[in-house]
Amino acid sequence: MAPGPAGIPHLRIDVLTIFPDLVGHFAEASIVGRGRQRGVLDVRVHDLRSVTTDPHRSVDDAPFGGGAGMVLMAEPIFATVEAVEPPRPILLLGPAGRRFDHDVAVELAATSGFTLVCGRYEGIDDRVRRHLADDELSIGDFVLAGGEVAAMAVIEAVVRLVPGVLGNTASVEEESFAAGLLEYPQYTRPAELRGWSVPEVLLSGDHGRISRWRRAQALHRTLGSRPDLVRARGGLDDAELALLAEFPLDPPAQPTRPPGDVGEGA
C-alpha cells in the first residue's frame, strides 16, 4: 500500500458509473468522507457519459440477438479506463462474481487501490469482462437496478479496515466476522430501561470477566445465528467450551408491557 501523509497508508478507489452523483455524495459522508479529509483515502468517481462523443451521450444499446432491455456498451468503459488510468484490479460488480465478504474486504484494504465498474440495464457488454476486468464481485444473490449500491457497500466495508479511517482501531478487531464470529451484544446508558437491566457483569468493573463474557456471548450468538461460521473455523476449542459453561446463554428478556404499548399519548 502506498504511503499517505505522514506515513499513513493511502488507498485509492475509482468508481465507473453512469450515476456519479449517487456515489459521489456517498463518498463525501460518514467514515468515507472523513478518510478523504484526512488524506487516507482517495475516492474518484468517473461518469461514463463524459467520454461519449454522440449528441445523446449514449452509454447503452440493444443487445445483439434480440431480447428485453438494453446493454451497457463496452466502448465508454474502455475509453474511461484509458483516459483516467484507474488502479487495478478492475472489478466488475455482478451476479457471476465471487462472493464479497470480510476476507475479500481485508484483501482489498491491503492493496494500494482498486476500481469498481457499476453495471446497469440488462448487463454489460461481455467484452469488458473478457478483455478489461481483472475480477468480478457479487454482494449477494439478489437483483439490483445497478451496481452503485453494491459499490457503496464494498467501499464502506473496505475503507473502515484502512488504518487512520476509524478513530479506534479496536473497533475493527472486535466487530462481527473479524475473528470468524458475530460480535457480542452492546449496551449503553441507562443501566435499566423499562424494566430491562444491563447484564451485571458489564457494571462490575472486572475487565477480565467482562472480556470473557463478551467472548462467550459472541460464541453463543454465532452458534445460534450463524453456525456455518463456527464450522468454517473448525468448531470450538476447549477454552471456548469452558467460556460457554462459565457464561450460559441468558433467557430472552420478557417485555414489561404488551407489544405496541409505549405509554400514553403514543
CA-closest candidate to residue 4, choices 170, 114, 168, 164: 164
Contact 108, 114 (CB under 8 A): yes
Query: Residue 115 is inside which H or E element, if any?
Result: strand 113-118
pTM of the model: 0.83
At residue 252, the pLDDT reads 61
Q: With the C-alpha atoms ordered 97, 102, 108, 111, is the resulting torsion angle positive or negative?
A: negative
At residue 266, the pLDDT reads 40
Q: CA-to-CA distance for 263 and 266, rounded, in angstroms?
A: 6
At residue 265, the pLDDT reads 46
Residue located via cell numbers 457519459: 49
Residue located via cell numbers 475516492: 43
CATH superfamily of the 5-159 domain? SPOUT methyltransferase, trefoil knot domain (3.40.1280.10)
- DSSP per-residue string spanning 124-180: B-HHHHHHT-SEEEES-SS--SBSHHHHHHHHHHHHTTSTTTSS-HHHHHHSTTTTS
Contact 23, 116 (CB under 8 A): no
At residue 172, the pLDDT reads 58
Q: Could you tell me the residue ranges of all domains in the chain?
A: 5-159, 175-246
CA-closest candidate to residue 166, choices 237, 252, 158: 158
Q: What CATH code would you report for 175-246?
A: 1.10.1270.20
Burial of 34 (0-12, 13-18, 19+ CB in 10 A): middle
Positions of the chain with pLDDT lower than 50, given as ranges = 2-3, 264-266
At residue 197, the pLDDT reads 95
